[in-house]
Amino acid sequence: SWYKYAIGYNQRVKEFLNNDRKLNLNSAKTIAYKEIINHLSYVSIDALKKRTQRAFVIYDLFKAIGVDKIERIKSYTANQIA
């Protein structure tokens, strides 16, 4: 789910920041994006950034109302929610 993607993305960025104190936040995000692109070669970096932004909208929504509500959402896409 996009909720889990947002959590995983955040964790990965934090790992990069903790492992290399010289990295700033933007550099850590760029490394994370490049790592993801290696697994999703059909997605451009710009599209991935947009999808990540939408994932964080979904993350913020369900963090506020409860993760258990995700199962109730059946007929909406990430684009419609974001």
Q: Is the pLDDT at 78 greater than 80, yes or no?
A: no
Which structure tokens are listed for 39? Answer: 């697994």
Question: Using one digit for the tens of pLDDT, what is the confidence trace for 30-61?
Answer: 999 999 999 988 889 999 999 999 999 989 98
The pLDDT value given to residue 80 = 64
DSSP state of 21: T
Question: Using one digit for the tens of pLDDT, what is the confidence trace for 21-37?
Answer: 899 999 999 999 999 99
Give the global pTM: 0.78
Select from 66, 52, 47 the least CA-distant residue to 12: 52
